[in-house]
Amino acid sequence: MTDSWVAVATYWQLVEAKMASALLGSEGIKSRLADDGITGANPLLAIAVGGIRVLVAPADAEEASQLLQLRGLLPGGEAPPVDAGSLEDEAVGAAPADESVREFLDAQKKRPR
């Protein structure tokens, strides 16, 4: 690991910070959280310590920021839209665990909207 870290994001809630860190990790970017312990113990202390910072190596900072923004985890970024139709097609096309899943999906299609 590296000895120097830079903050690429700050969050007030531990769950958001962990989501950002996990996303970076899934893309091969090593990260760590600063002040997650104190805010985990008492969320109200996040204000006192300035929030939970997501830290990465300086060489990864730009890529990490772009990735977090692309996924809607930074201000100015928006989560990508979800096409519910394609999700339903994927679910129907997959082999159901049992027939009740297919029956449920068929019933949903017949419901008036």
Burial class (CB in 10 A: 0-12, 13-18, 19+), 57: middle
Q: How far apart are the first and last CA of the chain?
A: 54
Break the chain into its structural domains and give their ranges: 6-70, 82-113
Dump strand ranges (E) for the chain: 6-11, 31-34, 52-56
What CATH number matches the domain at 6-70, 3.40.50, 3.30.70, 3.10.110, 3.30.460?
A: 3.30.70
d(CA 107, CA 21): 40
pLDDT at 109 over 50: yes
Q: What is the pLDDT of residues 80-96, one digit of tens each?
A: 666 666 767 776 666 65
**Average pLDDT of the segment spanning 24-52:** 91
What is the dihedral angle through the alpha carbons of 70, 75, 76, 78, rounded to the nearest 10 degrees? 50
* pLDDT band per the 50, 70, 90 thresholds, residue 67: very high
Residue 50 has pLDDT above 80, yes or no: yes
Calpha distance 14→35 (Å, rounded):
9
